[in-house]
């Protein structure tokens, strides 16, 4: 069984104009930073040791990673050093933990898989990697070795996490599991798609604020604490209201995320959109 996870939190995603204060590693996902939502299912499957690799631009995440989100969890954070390529940084982490943990998993901070695939991977007796993929690619979990990592890290050209993982996938002939469902969160429409899936599958309490009896809730919906909703509003389906969101009287919201103190005006109809205090985007 795998007992350690290496989470690489440097990705191709960049800060979005409507979430200027959030690095992608901290994009909100049902009340928690995205990286914690990646860690949580692995923790539930028995992995309590996590090595998280971040870039210099993601040091803002340190305080969140140091919070006690789960009991008996150990999260060690390392940074990609100045002048160090991502491949060499991953090699450094693997070399350090391979002496303590014979089996471990490597994955990106923004890759989400179905529970069956994660369970198969965690219960395997291999060092393995969840291949980081584009939306069009399937995701597979493949066996890798420290030697594979060393080979992928070579070369004069800097490589992204996706490029490194594709190189690793080509270097091994053993596939542990093909994911039946996955999502790679690089853009805000990916973030919405992830919420839509989690709202359908998670069993967390879905209304954590006091709301008027005149407000109609159409599940699935998640409402954080400290959310203000005006009387006569209709919320749902597929809506997440993050802490600090404000919804005016008789507003109608469906298939939407209201994040980062976003505001919906009275009598406004919001559909297929993400709204924050800094702006809004409409989803295709």
Q: DSSP letters along 33-94, please?
A: EHHHHHHHHHHHTT--EEEEEE-GGGGGGHHHHHS--STT-EEEEEEPPTT--HHHHHHHHH
Cα(47)–Cα(126) distance, rounded to whole angstroms?
Answer: 14
Give the position of tokens 């100045």. 82
Q: Are residues 218 and 148 in the same domain?
A: no
Contacts of 167 (CB under 8 A, 6+ apart): 151, 152, 159
Q: Each residue of 160-175: pLDDT tens digit?
A: 777 777 777 776 656 7
pTM comes to 0.89
Q: Are residues 262 and 179 in the same domain?
A: no
Q: Are residues 170 and 209 in the same domain?
A: no
Residue 81, domain CATH: 3.90.550.10
On the question of pLDDT at 42 being above 50, the answer is yes
Domain range for 213: 205-282
Q: Are residues 66 and 138 in the same domain?
A: yes
Q: Each residue of 217-269: pLDDT tens digit?
A: 999 999 999 999 999 999 999 999 999 999 999 999 999 999 999 999 999 99
Q: Are residues 12 and 148 in the same domain?
A: yes
In terms of Cβ atoms closer than 10 Å to its own Cβ (0-12, 13-18, 19+), residue 73 is middle
């Amino acid at each position: 069984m795998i007992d350690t996870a290496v989470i690489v939190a440097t990705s191709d995603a960049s800060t979005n104009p409507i979430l200027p204060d959030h690095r992608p590693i901290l994009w909100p996902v049902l009340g928690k930073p995205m990286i914690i939502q990646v860690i949580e299912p692995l923790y539930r499957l028995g992995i309590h040791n996590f090595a998280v690799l971040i870039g210099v631009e993601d040091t803002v995440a340190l305080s969140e990673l140091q919070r006690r989100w789960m009991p008996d969890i150990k999260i060690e954070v390392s940074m990609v050093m100045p002048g160090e390529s991502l491949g060499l940084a991953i090699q450094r982490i693997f070399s350090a933990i391979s002496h303590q943990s014979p089996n471990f998993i490597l994955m990106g901070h923004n890759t989400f898989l179905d529970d069956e695939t994660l369970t198969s991977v965690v219960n395997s007796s291999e060092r393995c990697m969840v291949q980081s993929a584009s939306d069009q690619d399937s995701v597979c979990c493949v066996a890798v070795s420290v030697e594979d990592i060393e080979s992928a890290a070579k070369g004069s050209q800097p490589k992204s996490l996706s490029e490194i993982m594709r190189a690793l996938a080509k270097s091994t002939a053993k596939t542990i599991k093909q994911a039946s469902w996955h999502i790679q969160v690089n853009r805000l429409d990916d973030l919405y798609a992830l919420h839509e899936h989690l709202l359908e599958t998670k069993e967390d309490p879905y209304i954590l604020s006091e709301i008027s009896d005149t407000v109609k809730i159409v599940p699935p919906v998640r409402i954080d604490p400290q959310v203000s909703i005006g009387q006569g509003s209709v919320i749902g389906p597929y809506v997440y209201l993050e802490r600090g969101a404000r919804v005016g009287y008789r507003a109608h919201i469906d298939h939407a995320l209201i994040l980062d103190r976003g505001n919906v005006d009275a009598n406004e109809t919001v559909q297929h959109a993400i709204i924050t205090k800094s702006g809004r985007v409409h989803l295709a």
